[in-house]
Structure 1
Amino acid sequence: MMLGFRRARRRRGLLLAGGLVTAGVLLTATAASAAAAPPPGHHHGGTTYYVGQHPGKASNGRTVHSAFTSVQDCADVAQPGDTCVIQDGTYDETVTPAHSGTAAAPITFTAAPGAHPVISGADPVTGFTPVGPTELAQVVAADPFAANTPFSQAVADGKVYSAGVDLGSAAAEVQIFTDGAMDIEASYPFPGTDLLNPAVERADAGTADATIVDSTLTRPAGYWDGARVLTSYWYVTATGTVASSAVGSVTLTTAPPCVHKVVPTDTWFRLSGKIGELSHPGSYFYDATAKRLYLYSDDDPNGHRIEAKKRDLGFDLTTASNVHVNGIGLFASTIRTGDSSTGVQLDGIDGKYLSHYWDVTQGATDCGANVTRGVATSGIVLKGTGNSIRDSHLQYSAGNGVSLGGYGNTAEGNTITDVDYAGTYAAAVAVQGHSQTVTHNTMARLGRSGINLQWNGVTGTTAGADRIAYNDISGHASLSVDTAAIYSCCSAHMEGTRIDHNVLHDPTPRPGGVYPFGISGIYADNGMSDLQIDNNLGWGNHEGTVELNGLGTGSHDNLVYNNTGGMTLFYVKEAGQSTGTKIYNNIGPITGLAGATDGGLVLSNNLIDGDPLYVDPAAHDYRLQAGSPARNAAIPLPGVNDGSTDATPSLGAFQYGAVPWTAGAGS
């Protein structure tokens, strides 16, 4: 039993298979019999319909043997209380319910017992042919720089294939898959297929803020003209266009925005949009003018499942309420609710490649879209109120895993990994609106943060506190620094939002550059106020478990209690900058301590120096030994540091003698 927020949690037993499920799987007699039983989430009084992929069968949906052949067929007829039971298969569609359910009689979409259906946003691409001398000559005629490149050598080696397909005009938004794994656009440097740990090239120098000088740029003058460039420095990722290029340099049409200039050894970059770079397994190039897709492949791609993303949404619930989705897979698609949605429950979702984009448009004078693209619109988007996602596994997204808008929504018990590979302010869970709950989740391998905690009022509602608790977050800051596992900004009054009992550890910032500046467990950046941060544990964070930055409106009325792992204080020392802030009962060094109380904050009963005598810190067991100086040393704070077997509470995140709390999915 953990302390605090722990409650009995339903476990639904929906263990989903990894990878893509092949379409057209026929039910065995045993599976058909099982599917006839009342499915999970079935509500008595409604009609049960069946969905399957059985070519040539009648399809009125009333039995397994006359199942609808698409999920949308069922969504068109389902009324409150009805259930759509979905058999194995990959369904290339967007499901938009024609009706909403009610609180007492929701409409349910559920996997058949033992089945793992997938709603896919991708369509197959077929008809690939080897690129030979004739087609190569056509490519070179359109782009003379394609001659004598790695691409032309790959053609000579028989490694390049092409197929005609219309994927739109925005080449940077194209997403291609081979056998369920995402391919990477041809680029320099080629980042590899792990976008949370990409190969990068750092600028040797920069001139006039808009020129990247780098000795590895050996292509001839003009080669990179018109190419797209992605640059990253400090906390800003941006994309732009190359105006001109020479051996050893490229000059952008517009200098990178915000604080993001071309800084020698700090700015890293990637160039794309040139077919000459197509020379790596797992890579592609899309010619939007010729509407032709080129793949680098060691064998005939027609023997593989090649797909292109065509639809953003697997379920469009923007006008729906009281819809339950249980045990369904998503591939190259996501689920979105609307401002008026309520009672939507997502449970046991297995989602892969939820959102994709590369263009992060440069703002003219400030960070603008460079930091905000996708924060409110990518991943599983829950707007409205009273909606939830639970016990789900979400992996791969250019943006978020989950975005909580509106108010009173919940993300609980989920495992979310490999998100924000575009490197913006997206997160495993982006929290906006108010009164949101994010608890018992595991988040790992993150471009920036695990939780991006913002604050937006919702018209016609009374603002309330968020609850961020019992989450295990690691691998943050892969593509951006000056961030945290749980990050909040800027100059907002957080209505008593509580951040507690989280384990925040092992960030993975890119070597070089401004590494590892500003990386912490919890970061209240640029004047955040009225937060309660208690009982959190962190290790491996450069600035400690907690970081307060009072720059802007000041860091007021923040209660920082019983955390383990140290902290950093910025801009809290001038008169009035930190009035009402209390820092009690914490364990670990405090950077910026000198003069901190001049701003109005109060420090008391913190163990800053000396050995706390943890049980086994090498194994990250931060319970207290019997001889620890943190025992019997805390200011008693009811509801915060209860549970010690001593007469007086302990310092830090674990009370002596109490059953230790745990965090993460399944805790």
Structure 2
Amino acid sequence: MLRTNPSPRRKIMAGTTLGLAAALAAAGAAAAAPADAPRTLYVAATAGEGGDGAAPASAFRTIQECADVAVAGDTCEIASGTYRETVTVTSSGTADRPITFRAAPGADVVVNGTERLTGFTPVLPKDLAAITAADPYAVDSLFSAAVAQRKIYSVPVDLGDKGGEEQVFLDSTMSIEASYPYPGTDLLDPDIRRAQAGSADATIVDPQMTRPAGYWDGARALTAYWYITTTGAVASSDVGSITLQTAPLCVHKVVPTDTWYRLSGKIGELGYPGAHYYDPVAKRLYLYSDDNPNRHFIEAKKRQLAFDLTSASGIHLEGLGLFASSVQTGTSSTGVVLDGVDAKYLSHYWDVTRGATNCGENVTRGVGDTGIVLNGTGNTVKNSTIQYSAGNGIALRGWGNTAIDNVITDVDYAGTYAAPVAVQGHSQTVMYNTMARVGRSGVNLQWNGVAGTVPGPDRIAHNDISGYASLSVDTAAIYTCCSSRMEGTQIDHNVLHDPNARPGGVYPFGMSGIYADNGQSDLRIHNNVGWGNPEGTVELNGLGSGSRDNLVYNNTGGMTLFYVKGPGQSTGSVVTNNIGPIKGLTGATDGGLTLSNNLMDGDPLFVDPANHDYRLQAGSPARGVATPLPPYTDGSTDAVPSLGAFQYGAPAWTAGARR
């Protein structure tokens, strides 16, 4: 079972606003004629058949029935209950007459992507003969011991044609697939095993692998090294070692004490309470349970989407719960608003695939197509709580979309380039969100062109991000890569702190608050504060096309410079008015970087640094000595502004969800 202990707009450019207005006008062209009065239609999971939705007493039984008849201006008011359906909306609302799906006042509404499983029967010692005929290694295993203790139950069910992708829940908490090592119930802080020896030809050696020769043949192997997580199949195995069918791609390889791994796909590992094993050939689910699982609520995921909005615009979802399912809009969707959504378990997968020859993060599974996916333009997720996802919490695609005032935790437990907020497209806004406990980065910021639009800057501001790098390194709370001009994208007023780097291994590096990696240019990084970040609040890496035209102003927490000293490698980049040590300082200006007026050593005299109050005391040497750089240095009560993220005498700015 997966548990957690979570930590606690910019205006779109004029072209975006005009584009949104035009799109909404097109979506609501039919509204030019006199409109019918808006209706409230009613939905109740307990309703009888044949209701017309006109009143609570004649409510629709499903949300889909309401979606089928709702038109611009209508509201589907939904009573408490669990709705096991994918609601496909094909009608559109307009800017002033949206189609709204909302929870009734005080109602607890959950659109659920699972189906309940019943009819579990105990697996008895006499049943082992048939099981071990298919897998002789199930003899004398954790599984056979659990069968002897009457702890294993099974049920016939079709959960797909390959194991490891199924998602099973026990009393609304995710079950963990049988594996070695058993990761425990918290996939953002799993128990892991590291290779003790091995080679780049895909052999992992670990004396703790005590299963007999051949046991792991055909198993799945999840392996992670440096910044790459991937899966493969085991070709052969012996006591203390496995060899994969194919050597891992890219820089990923087997490095003693640094590569960590998890093996699954063998029923013999089913020996922990709440764990499961799915046999995709026999279409049977096995469950370890201390008592009869028929006394509990067991569910398996059957649907990916709670709401399919790929053909709709002007749709509002308000106060709804999502469980084991998500929401997706289409490339022409606009004016879609998710407000006050409570979403859990948005995506699940373990097979982490990449392009055959391309190691880039955008080809990693789940980066662009998991979580709440906003395609199109002018769509928003706000005031929502998002928890648990193998992939993203929110994916902003298209252009001119917004994520604001959300709390997002426990996502990217597959350890890839997915994130609480994955930003693609352009002109996106990510503001006032709280993000914690994530596999890699808090915001994965990319730049992608969108056909027919003029690219514009993103705004990543006033976010509180912590507990990043739980499963990967060479990353950041806000990570952006590679070799793109970012059109003046602003990253400002963020609080970035306390990565959750795993102990051990030789690559606990590259972890910073903001990391412009491998040649990102034309960024505005200002007024951010960070602590606990090994490489500081800001990190610039010019490897590739160079770190050019980046403005790094008034940040607190130090920084690191990589590959900025080659000829022309940092032309136009300026680092000034920052507080904190700067690594990589020697020769840093040789590539064109301007480096001036930074307080790199000595005591800045913060108000209360032990409690992370980085405002300046009256006697601070950072007060009244900054190079004036409006608007980045506005707000000081002194005639000359201050260094660092907080101007002396100005009200302290805040970050994180405002609720």
1:352 has 2:379 as partner: no
Q: What SS class does the counterpart of residue 357 from structure 1 fall into?
A: coil
Distance, in Å, in 2 between the alignment partners of 1:104 and 1:263 is 58
- 1:151 and 2:143 aligned: yes
Q: Select 2:541's aligned residue among 536, 540, 549.
A: 549
Could you say what secondary structure the match of 1:664 adopts?
A: coil
AA of the residue aligned to 1:399: G
2:181 matches 1:189:
yes
Q: What is the SS of the residue equivalent to 1:171?
A: coil
Deviations 1:184-228 (A, max 9, x none): 000000001100000000001113521100001111110000000
- CA shift in 2, pair 1:506/1:348, >3 Å: same
C-alpha separation in 2, matches of 1:124 and 1:398: 22
1:517 paired residue among 496, 509, 514: 509
Q: Please say if residues 49 and 61 of structure 1, whose CA atoms lie closer than 8 Å, have aligned partners that are also in contact.
A: yes
Task: Answer whether contact 2:169 2:298 (CA < 8 A) is retained.
Answer: yes
Are the structure 2 counterparts of residues 243 and 370 from structure 1 closer, same or farther at C-alpha, using a change threshold of 3 Å?
Answer: farther
> Measured at CA, do residues 55 and 325 of structure 1 come closer, stay the same or move farther in structure 2, by a change above 3 Å?
closer
Per the alignment, residue 31 of structure 1 pairs with: none
Deviation at 1:515, TM superposition (A): 4.4
Q: Deviations over 1:592-615 (max 9, x none)?
A: 011100010101110001110011
Contact preservation (8 Å) 1:95, 1:316: yes
Aligned to 2:17: none
Is 1:326 aligned to 2:325, yes or no?
A: no
Structure 2 runs not aligned, ≥5 long: 1-8, 12-34
Cα deviation, residue 138, structure 1: 1.1
What displacement does 1:5 show? 6.5
TM-score w.r.t. the length of structure 1 is 0.93
CA distance in 1, matches of 2:476, 2:493: 16
Matched, 1:601 2:590: no
Question: Structure 2 counterpart of 1:428, which letter?
Answer: P
Shift of 1:471: 0.2
Q: Secondary structure, in 3 states, of the residue corresponding to 2:420?
A: strand
Q: CA deviation at 1:53?
A: 1.8
Q: Residues of 2 paired with 1:370 and 1:523: CA distance? A: 17
State whether structure 2 residue 569 is matched by structure 1 residue 577.
yes
1:119-138 alignment runs, 5 A limit = 119-138=111-130
Q: SS in structure 2 opposite 1:511?
A: coil
Picking from 476, 481, 493, the partner of 1:501 is: 493
Residue 364 of structure 1, CA deviation: 3.9
Contact 2:48 2:61 in 1 (8 A): no
Deviation at 1:371, TM superposition (A): 6.3
Residue by residue over 1:298-328, the C-alpha shift from the partner in whole angstroms, topping out at 9 and shown as x without a partner, is 1111011100000000000011100000000
Counterpart residue identity of residue 478, structure 2: I
Confirm or deny: 8 A CA contact 2:361 2:367 kept in the other structure.
no
The residue that corresponds to 1:256 in the other structure is 248
TM-score, normalising length from structure 2?
A: 0.94
* Deviation digits for residues 422-472 of structure 1 (CA, Å, limit 9, x no counterpart): 011000000000000000000000100110000000011000000100000
Count matched residues. Answer: 629
Q: Which amino acid aligns with 1:326?
A: E
Code of the aligned partner of 1:468: I
Equivalent position amino acid for 1:645 in 2 = T
Contact 2:362 2:368 survives alignment (8 Å): no
Deviations 1:331-379 (A, max 9, x none): 0000000101001011000000001110012554442579621111000
Match of 1:17 in 2: none
Segment of structure 1 superposing worse, 168-177 or 454-463: 168-177
1:603, 1:245 → 2: CA distance? 55
Contact persistence 1:236–1:371 (CA under 8 A): no
Secondary structure of the residue that 2:645 maps to in structure 1?
Answer: coil
Of 34, 48, 54, 2:46 maps to: 54
1:76-225 equivalent positions in 2, closer than 5 A: 76-225=68-217
User: Secondary structure at 1:185's aligned position in 2?
Assistant: coil
Equivalent residues in 2 for 1:550-565, closer than 5 Å? 550-565=542-557
Letter in 1 for 2:71: Q
Q: Tell me, in whole angstroms, the C-alpha distance in 2 between the residues paired with 1:224 and 1:337.
A: 42
Kindly indicate whether the alpha-carbon contact (under 8 Å) linking 1:349 and 1:391 is maintained by their aligned counterparts in 2: yes
Q: Following superposition of structure 1 onto structure 2, how do residues 268-347 of structure 1 map, counting pairs within 5 Å? A: 268-347=260-339
Amino acid at match of 1:497: T
Moved more, 52-61 or 222-231: 52-61
**Cα shift at 1:57:** 5.9
Match of 1:24 in 2: none
Residue number among 452, 465, 468 corresponding to 1:473 in the alignment: 465
Are 1:422 and 2:414 an aligned pair? yes
Instruction: After TM superposition, give the deviation of residue 44 of structure 1 in Å.
Output: 9.1
Q: Is this contact kept in 2: 1:239–1:362, CA < 8 A?
A: no
The letter of the residue matching 1:92 is R
CA contact (8 A) 1:363 1:370 kept: no
**Residue 655 (str. 1) matches residue 647 (str. 2):** yes
1:26 is matched with none
Shift of 1:474: 0.2
Contact 2:375 2:396 in 1 (8 A): yes
Q: Does 1:402 align with 2:394?
A: yes
Write the distance in 2 (CA, Å) between the matches of 1:269 and 1:44: 61
SS at match of 2:496: strand
Structure 1: segments with no counterpart, 5+ residues? 7-42
CA 1:297–1:544 in 2, change beyond 3 Å: closer, same or farther? same
Secondary structure at 1:153's aligned position in 2? helix
Contact 1:360 1:369 in 2 (8 A): no
Residue identity matched to 2:66: C
Matched position secondary structure for 1:141: helix
Find the residue that maps to 1:302 and give its secondary structure.
helix
Cα gap change, 1:50/1:216 in structure 2, threshold over 3 Å: closer, same or farther? same
Aligned-pair distance for 1:103? 1.9
**Which among 372, 375, 383 is matched to residue 380 of structure 1?**
372
Q: Cα–Cα, structure 1 residues 604 and 226, in superposed 2: closer, same or farther, change >3 Å? A: same
Residues 128, 301 of structure 1: 8 Å contact kept: yes
Provide Cα deviations, 1:225-245, integer angstroms capped at 9, x if missing partner. 000000000000000000000
Q: Secondary structure at the match of 2:88?
A: coil
Q: Tell me the distance in 2 between the aligned counterparts of 1:209 and 1:481.
A: 23
Q: Percent identity?
A: 71
Q: CA deviation at 1:170?
A: 2.1
Instruction: Report the residue type matching 1:72 in the other structure.
Output: Q
| C-alpha displacement of 1:643 | 0.8
**Corresponding residue for residue 5 of structure 2:** none
Q: For each residue in 1:489-513, what CA deviation from the matched residue of structure 2 results, as whole angstroms up to 9, or x when unmatched? A: 0000000000000000000011111
Structure 1 match to 2:607: 615
Write out per-residue CA displacement over residues 74-132 of structure 1, whole angstroms, 9 at most, x where no aligned residue.
01111111110001001000001131112221110000000120001111111001110
Calculate the aligned-residue CA RMSD, in Å. 1.5
Aligned with 1:427: secondary structure?
A: coil
Is the CA contact 1:57–1:65 (under 8 Å) kept in the aligned structure 2? Answer: no
Question: Is the 1:237–1:371 contact (alpha carbons within 8 Å) kept by the matching residues of 2?
Answer: no
What letter is aligned with 2:650? A
Partner of 1:10: none
Match of 1:79, as an amino acid? Answer: V
